[in-house]
Amino acid sequence: MPIDIDSALGSLPAALALRARRTELLAANLANADTPHYKARDFDFRAAMDQASQGRVVLAATEPGHIQPSAGGIDPEVHYRVPLQPSLDGNTVDLPVEQAKFAENALRYQATLTFLNGRIKGLLTAIKGE
């Protein structure tokens, strides 16, 4: 009986891809904390997961001739973060907020990896018949 890997792993691969994308955004925010007129960006992880789990994955390709990405190419709708206290130079990055969100996202990324590893180990155990 064949195993459907996609259904066996569930939404964990999509969650991992979204966490990686969010890490990129938060890292860019932190890197540009002193850049004048930089606007902090983020996305709603829960809404992006709902979109991915309902199969309405937005694929990103820059040209029609490019290879279309798979479901791992989830591209959530990115929004500008509303600052608590914008700086005089127009930068909206609030360093403590960004650091906290980055740390939380890193922790959740690691947790998702742990869950995914557990699922894969379970599948290997089932395949080997141990």
Residue 79 host element (H or E) = strand 79-80
**Mean pLDDT on 35-60:** 82
In angstroms, rounded to a whole number, what is the distance separating the alpha carbons of residues 91 and 115? Answer: 37
First-last CA distance in the chain:
17
**Mean pLDDT on 94-120:** 95
**Mean pLDDT on 72-98:** 86
Position 60 confidence tier, pLDDT thresholds 50, 70, 90: low
Task: Map residue 42 onto helix, strand or coil.
Answer: strand
Res 104: pLDDT: 97
Look up the pTM and report it: 0.78
Task: Map residue 20 onto helix, strand or coil.
Answer: helix
Residue with more model confidence, 62 or 6: 6
Asked if pLDDT for residue 22 goes beyond 90, the answer is: yes
In angstroms, rounded to a whole number, what is the distance separating the alpha carbons of residues 6 and 24? Answer: 25
